[in-house]
Amino acid sequence: MRLISSGRHHARFEFGDLQVISLRDGYIDMPPTRLRDEDGRALGELPAAVPLVGGNLRLSVNAFFVTDGARSVLIDTGASDNWHDPTMGLIYDALEEAGVDRAEITEVAITHNHEDHVSGLIAPGGSEAFPKLERVWIGASDTSVFTGRLEPVRDRVVPVSEKVAINDWATAIPTPGHTPGHTVYEMRSSIGRLLVWGDTVHVPTLQFERPNVTWEWDGDQSQARAARATLLRQLTQPHHFVAGAHLDSPGIARVTASGDGYALEYLAPPIG
């Protein structure tokens, strides 16, 4: 997997016979008290390696577009104008910057039903962001989000309740924990596998080294911890790569075992 080009809000990678474009939707600032230990308590002092901005953790928000030139999948959609502060909703700029016409996107895969992942299906102003949308893949237990603002796309929702192929090279894999319907998407190319793993990790500077640390908003803390352990172990295999919604933009990395935990090695310098 190799970086080909990048801009302010996107980075493009060659991945064998696939291309992967990381799209930066923006960032969220969150208090460090959202990090939890195994007893569900907020962590005490954080290691110096965990940077804070004005006392907060700054989480990148990324979506990913994967294409073989003929078929494409957009995984996650950012927050659009549906977040309380205007630091997100950049995905439409990111797509334009990357030369992807959003009017041509037909397949969207959602990792889970939180606002920073699903809201971008509706553009600011209320129109559908992807006018030729044919299918929205999402975990069956997360489909209740398609009411109100998201009601217009409900008729194209495809609930995922077991491992299922989206096309020849993309597979949806249920990984409940962060939400009951949390789903990761595995992309298989001629040179390896990329796991687009949604919210498996929120704070990369801490949760690779200490994978037992959870996030307050992991709906089921122990299930989320177990899912993270399984995926991290899987990612240490050769030719495996990860794309993370909250890894530092552009958020594509390799994972290695390190001490009692793991280390990540980004494949591209930061953007944004």
Residues that bind Zn ion (CB under 5 A): 116, 199
Q: Do residues 157 and 172 touch, judged by C-beta distance below 8 A?
A: no
Residue number with CB closer to Zn ion (107 or 116) = 116
Which is nearer to Zn ion, 25 or 199 (by Cβ)? 199
Q: How far is the CB of 63 from Zn ion (least distance, A)?
A: 11
Please state the φ and ψ torsions of residue 124, each to the nearest 5 degrees. Answer: -55, 135
Range 39-71 burial, b when 16+ CB lie within 10 A, else e: eeeebeebeeebeeeeeebbbbbbbbbbebeee
Please, which residue, 1 or 145, has the CB nearer to Zn ion?
A: 145
Residue 50 CB, nearest approach to Zn ion (Å)? 18
- Contact assessment for residue 87 and residue 53, using Cβ atoms and an 8 Å cutoff: no
In the complex, the smallest distance separating the C-beta of residue 14 from Zn ion, rounded to whole angstroms, is: 27
Note if the bond before 176 is cis, omega within 30 degrees: no
* Cα–Cα distance, 128 to 250 (Å, whole number): 25
* 63 vs 166 by CB, closer to Zn ion: 63
Output 21 or 28, the one with its CB closest to Zn ion.
28
CA distances from 213 to 144, 220, 228, 233, 239 (A): 28, 13, 10, 16, 26
The nearest distance, CB 136 to Zn ion, in angstroms, is 17
* Token digits of residue 257: 């075992």
Minimum distance of Zn ion from residue 87's CB (angstroms): 13
